[in-house]
Amino acid sequence: MARIALVHDIAGVAKIQARLLRSAGHDVDEIALPRTGASWRWPFKAFALALRVLGYVPAAGRLRSGRYDVVHIHWLPVGIVGVMAGVPFHAQAHGSDLHQNLRNPMLRWVTRLVLRRAKIVFYVTPNLLEYLKGFESKARLLPNPVEPREVAPDPSAPAEVKKVVIFTRLDPVKGVDRIFPAVDELAGRVELTALDWGPLATEYKHRYGGQVRFVGAVPHEQIGHFLQGFDVAIGQMLQGILSLMELEAMASGRPLVTGLDADLYREDAPPVIRAVSPSEIVAALQGLTGEPDELMRLSRAGRDWVARHHGYAHHLELLSAAYFS
């Protein structure tokens, strides 16, 4: 049995990891950190960062005195707490904490310091490896844990295409500017729903509120139930990967239209419909209309693919190999 510290939580991933590691007999401490000013904008964010670092001092002391066999820290800038503690640690990159932070002078310095000091750097999607140049020897792909049986125990496959959800944060980094221009053509054919979430939410509600229903945040434990209220999900269009939200849509048995880069998934291509432009999104939905067999195939194949690559047993195997090999 190992003594493990999981520091910080992003999208519930650390909580799931804690559960899995405890089920394997390990002693796990979950250590939360202050989030003061996380949503502030620059230059106020710089002041908030300084406040947060001061708030990390108790956690650093706990890590130093805890005699942990493994320290695993989520979100790269937060990895500074491991540096402060002076203990060996693993760091996990979730996306923007790597590719966006490397563009910011202050955050780039902190991020690269953490990358240098970390024993292992986990990254959750295959596109992130290109941002880890110089650190490839310590980089390990650790896909987000998603268990289809937990997200949606026994979903039924859609038989038609009437209700479509745009299931992504309304953020330029998600390529939503490639999705919403399709609204005019789609609105008369299907019911469209989007999330009232992200920096573009106010603008998009104003522009598309007459054609798209915008809904508020959904509690994580209700995501599977929420998604099963739709026939097809549209995911992000810019990064070429399956983020946690696309995986949850597939785990819920919803056929997925998204801007996938197949080169990132050569060993086992995800069963999704690729689209990267408004016209391709429209064509994808048209192609599924009146095709119940294809809807059923995508529904079942998507759940199976998520189970193979993101299921809890596989995730625990990858964690154990990285921690103890």
Indicate whether 163 and 119 sit together in one domain.
Answer: no
Query: What's residue 55's pLDDT?
Result: 87
Query: What's residue 106's pLDDT?
Result: 79
Name the amino acid, one letter, at 228.
Q
Query: What's residue 325's pLDDT?
Result: 83
Query: What's residue 39's pLDDT?
Result: 58
Has residue 322 been placed in a domain?
no
Give the whole-angstrom CA distance, residue 144 versus residue 244.
7
Query: What's residue 10's pLDDT?
Result: 94
Give the whole-angstrom CA distance, residue 68 versus residue 58.
16
Which of 85, 109, 142 corresponds to the end of one domain? Answer: 142
pTM: 0.91
Which of 117, 142, 167 corresponds to the end of one domain? Answer: 142
**What is the phi/psi pair of residue 229, to 5°?**
-80, 0
* Gyration radius of the chain over CA positions: 20
Give the Cα-Cα-Cα angle 88, 93, 95 (nearest 5 degrees). Answer: 170
Placement of tokens 């291509």 in the chain: 269
Query: What's residue 105's pLDDT?
Result: 84
Indicate whether 156 and 126 sit together in one domain.
Answer: no
Indicate whether 160 and 108 sit together in one domain.
Answer: no
**Residue 186 CA, distance from chain mean position:** 27
Give the whole-angstrom CA distance, residue 48 versus residue 58.
17
Strand, coil or helix: 182: helix
Cβ count near 21 (within 10 Å): 21
- Would you call 119 exposed, middle or buried from its count of C-beta atoms within 10 A (0-12, 13-18, 19+)? middle
Residue numbers in the chain where pLDDT is lower than 50: none
Domain that holds residue 39: 3-142
Indicate whether 70 and 134 sit together in one domain.
Answer: yes
Report the run of H or E that residue 229 belongs to, with start and end.
none
Indicate whether 125 and 161 sit together in one domain.
Answer: no
Has residue 320 been placed in a domain?
no
**What is the phi/psi pair of residue 123, to 5°?**
-135, 145
Indicate whether 117 and 165 sit together in one domain.
Answer: no
- CA quadruple 277, 278, 284, 287: dihedral sign: negative
pLDDT tens column, 143-182? 999 999 999 999 999 999 999 999 999 999 999 999 999 9
Indicate whether 206 and 99 sit together in one domain.
Answer: no
Indicate whether 103 and 193 sit together in one domain.
Answer: no
Indicate whether 31 and 157 sit together in one domain.
Answer: no
Query: What's residue 280's pLDDT?
Result: 98
Indicate whether 126 and 57 sit together in one domain.
Answer: yes
Query: What's residue 49's pLDDT?
Result: 67
Query: What's residue 3's pLDDT?
Result: 98
**What is the phi/psi pair of residue 125, to 5°?**
-135, 150
Adjacency order of strands within the sheet including 273-274 = 212-215, 191-195, 163-166, 232-234, 256-258, 273-274
Indicate whether 133 and 252 sit together in one domain.
Answer: no
Query: The domain that contains 269 carries what CATH number?
Result: 3.40.50.2000
